[in-house]
Amino acid sequence: MGPAGTALLCLGLCMGQGIKAQAETFLRPTLKADSGPLIPKGTPVILRCKGHPGATWYYLMMGETQSQGAVGAGMEANFLIPSMTKDTAGSYHCLYKTQSGISEPSEPLELVMTGFYDKPSLLVLSIQKVVEGQRVILSCHSEQLFDRFTFYEEKGVNTSRLQKVLFGTNITSASMTTTKEGTYRCYSFHSRYPYLWSASSDPVEVRVSASPSPPDATPQDYTVSNLICLSLAGLVLIILGVLLVEAWYSWRALLA
């Protein structure tokens, strides 16, 4: 290989390594809240942005506005929101800076402040303990008018949204059905203020028991069959006895 070929090979290798390094440098960061995305009013919350070991600075953005900045501490930087209020509730994302440039933003984290409105009531409209496969109807009721209701299932220290019920007009209640055992809560809010929710309803527990096995009818069937057979046999014996008695009397009458 001549000098020109060697130079081209080296250039190709360098470019490939540069592209690989850039891809490794700008991994997309992730943003999470320690206590989950539902934050009670007035409660502090820590947001953790995970990026890249080479990061020198992390940025926390609320919407399009920078909220906080922090010196990078390896893979992660923490941001403290001292108190959740109507002004700190909203959509957040983070990004980081390295010597090569700035990463793309993380996926948005929707921080919701709960407790802005009074808590609704969560009711079970069917029996609270059901057999596996049966449906349970849950109804979320509020004294105020709302156009959004949402139901959550508790899973340990976390909650998982089950269903958001949407309405075009303001109402006071919404319902959903479930076949799963668990602990449920609901919230209400207005679509104009999607990050300001009511306090959580009191939890409602739904218990699901296994379907009862059908009783084994075989021994009973045998007993009934035996009784029928014995009854028929007895009836036959009675008839035969009557016929024998009549035949005996008829024979004696002939002899007389």
pLDDT for position 160: 62
pLDDT class for 1, splitting at 50, 70, 90?
very low
Residue 119: partners with Cβ closer than 8 Å, 6 or more residues away: 198, 199, 200, 201, 202
Q: What number is the average pLDDT over the span 145-164? A: 75
Give the mean model confidence (pLDDT) for residues 51-74. Answer: 82
For the chain, how many helices (H) and strands (E)?
2, 16
Confidence of residue 70 (pLDDT cuts 50, 70, 90): confident
Banded model confidence at residue 62, pLDDT cuts 50, 70, 90: very high
Entry pTM = 0.67
**Percentage of residues in the chain having pLDDT higher than 70:** 62
Q: What is the pLDDT of residue 14?
A: 39
pLDDT in tens, 10-52: 334 333 444 344 444 578 999 999 988 999 999 999 999 999 8
* Residues 118-209, CATH architecture: Sandwich (2.60)
Domain(s) of CATH 2.60.40.10: residues in the chain: 30-113, 118-209
What confidence category does residue 6 fall into, taking pLDDT thresholds of 50, 70 and 90? Answer: very low
Task: Give me the torsion for CA of 93, 98, 100, 102, rounded to 10°.
Answer: 10
All residues at 6 or more sequence positions from 88 whose CB lies less than 8 Å from its CB, including other chains: 62, 81, 111, 113
- Work out the mean pLDDT of the chain and round it to a whole number: 77
Q: What is the pLDDT of residue 196?
A: 97
Per-residue tokens: 166: 């949407």
- The burial class, CB within 10 Å (0-12 / 13-18 / 19+), for 188 is buried
What integer pLDDT is reported at residue 230 of this predicted model? 67
How confident is residue 162, by pLDDT bands cut at 50, 70 and 90?
low
* pLDDT tens column, 167-211: 667 778 888 888 788 889 999 999 999 999 999 999 998 887 765
Residue 101 has pLDDT above 80, yes or no: yes
Q: Token pair of 131, please? A: 């057999």
Choose among 107, 81, 111: nearest CA to 95.
Answer: 107
Tens-digit pLDDT profile for residues 130-142: 666 678 888 999 9
The dotted CATH code for 30-113 is 2.60.40.10
- 8 A C-beta contact, residue 62 and residue 22: no
Of 83, 85, 67, 3, the closest CA to residue 31 belongs to 67
Q: List the single range of 2-11, 159-168, 169-178 with lowest mean pLDDT.
A: 2-11
Helices (H), 41-197: none
